[in-house]
Structure 1
Amino acid sequence: MYQELGERLFSKNLRIGLGGTEINDDIAQTALNEPENFWYFNNGVTFISDGISRTLRGGAGADHVALTVSNGSIVNGAQTTSTLGELLELEGGKDALSRLKCLVRVLEIPNDETEFSTSVTRFNNSQNGIGVKDFVSLDPFQQELRRGLDREFAISYIIRSGEDYGDNNIPTVSLQEATVALVACGTSVDNAVRAKDKISALWRDTNSEPYLSIFDKSRLTPLALYKAVEANRAIERFLKTRMMTHSFMSQIADYDESLDQGVADRERAVATHGNRLFSFYVLTGVNIWREEQSISEFKGKLKDFDLSDPFENFVETVFDRYGSSYKAPLFKNRTKCANILSALPSINLGIS
């Protein structure tokens, strides 16, 4: 039918075939390389028609039924149908299709039931979006970290969207917070920029980089993860306090001409948009890996470090290099972020 009718087969659908998208490529690869698994991996197709007649081939006990469909349209499954249709032109495509099974629902909806027909189309194409992050929870290593944080520190590790954070008295760590913290304590500027620009890029494939370097199962332990999170939280607390202080200073600036409002505005802009890069600047390479060093010892050393001078140097360097640049896109530019870091003195937190 798709070969004969083309896009007219999707006349009542929200979309026609989108061509070579990432998802459609996955559909094609499954069909070609694992046709026997297509039934399990694909959601199938929903087809509506205002009239259907059926004829049993070979009598009442026959397995095959001939359907005659009038005024029909696919309302969900345009990508599946168009992608499979294109396989007919590929080498091995016909053979794969002959071994493939796909669920198809054929719904008869009378012509005067237009409102119901519209609702079928709408709700078959409505779902809560599945983000890249949601697939990370399938990684067994994330489950291992979750059990370890709960067992060793009574910390709830939230790795799935919609999970209940539970009792407010129970400490929690989210997957996003863990990722940002590990990136800040890592050595990759690229990852630090991605954490600000598009963090989902760090989770896109749990079987390749950069995910495997961030969540390095060969050495990442629940203790190391907890240390990274606490270190990054210390940076975030400092920036929040700094911004609150400047907010208060702004309120009284009109009454005291000696206060430099420009300094406050510059620091606020950098604290808001450059928080990920500043965390990376301060924490990059920090030793979170010593298992003999307890979390309380680690946190104690963090308290002894004053971040005021590093932050002021950071702000000054940002404005010296890129004072006229808008700060939001600035900290999403890998080259510019690397230039900022190269102009800064190295920092030693004294945590080893």
Structure 2
Amino acid sequence: MPLFNVYPLYDVTPVSGNGVYVYDEKGVEFLDLYGGHAVISIGHAHPKYVKAVTDQVTKLGFYSNAIQNPLQKELADKIEKLSGCKDYELFLCNSGAEANENALKLASFKTGKSRIVAFRNGFHGRTSAAVAATDNPSIIAPINAQQQVTILELNDISGVKAELEKGDVCAVIVEFIQGVGGLDQGTSDFFEQVYALCKANDTMFIADEVQSGYGRSGKFFAFQHYNVTPDIISIAKGMGNGFPIGGILIHPDIEAKFGMLGTTFGGNHLACAAGLSVLNVIEEQKLMDNVNEMSEYFIKLAKTIPQIKNIKGRGLMLGLEFDFEVGDLRKKLIYEHHIFTGGASNKKLLRILPPLTIRKEHINMFFEALIETLAEVEA
């Protein structure tokens, strides 16, 4: 049976990984500066991660949410401790799309409204309301398009004000650093005014931290660079270091009711074990400090390369923008220098999303390869 052909694939077959490296079936080593869409947070096959998952699966891999699972409470407490998001409540699911889907559903339950405000070049997932709030018509099927969504430009505060004052918006959903869209960010003033407008108009303010969360921005959450308090925070990618897990943090002003949200696999024993090991490593290895140090070093080197026209993002969620499309550049980095990088809807942007354990020697390797490749491209 053939696979449903929806992914354009590079001719690389990773079979193992270690730290910031992956290895193909021939034993070729690749430097991973993309982490599988920012999923690999603490490095491939981290020994504490491997041990936690292995130990748990030998005991109990899964049971439903109809029983007590103390690992869920332990995970919730650890997230609260490291994030500083006091008094929020945790609902666990399986992915970023599911996290945003539940966030939007909860906002609609809370407000009794149904329209969503989202932003140009935003990406929130591929399911129902999450994909409808995503600024990419090519992935929105007619069944998704029935959702009521208004897409505005980032920093258009007058547009946000006008839409919220109509009284039918249940949620404003925002990436504080856009991922697939190309690392664009709103201004501090914009985010803080949007937050105030949400409060004034009975609208939930949703922080999509699926890609930017878990220390990637240099703080635990990217919204913490601003003076805002989201009603709901969605999380996923780096949360499980490759194990499927997602969730939402819910402000205590939103009251839970039996049956309001639900999931079969969300918050299962294996997922919680994986999630706890990630948080423990982030804490023990002081990875958020490393993010800030490595980000500063990366940006310093990037500024020395004249072909780089713009450096976007924060922490280890970075983009290098050129005045040409980077598809061929990425291929050369993969096939000739064995380095994974990422693309974006902005075809001139190279995305850098390495494990948070990256060191200066790995950054040096990348820039040496980039300089050589740029010289070849220009020639």
**Coarse TM-score class (shorter-chain normalised):** under 0.3
Which fold has the larger relative contact order, with Cα–Cα distance below 8 Å and residues 6 or more apart in sequence? 2
Scaled by the length of structure 1, what TM-score is found? 0.25
> Quick check: which one's helix share is greater?
1
Scaled by the length of structure 2, what TM-score is found? 0.24
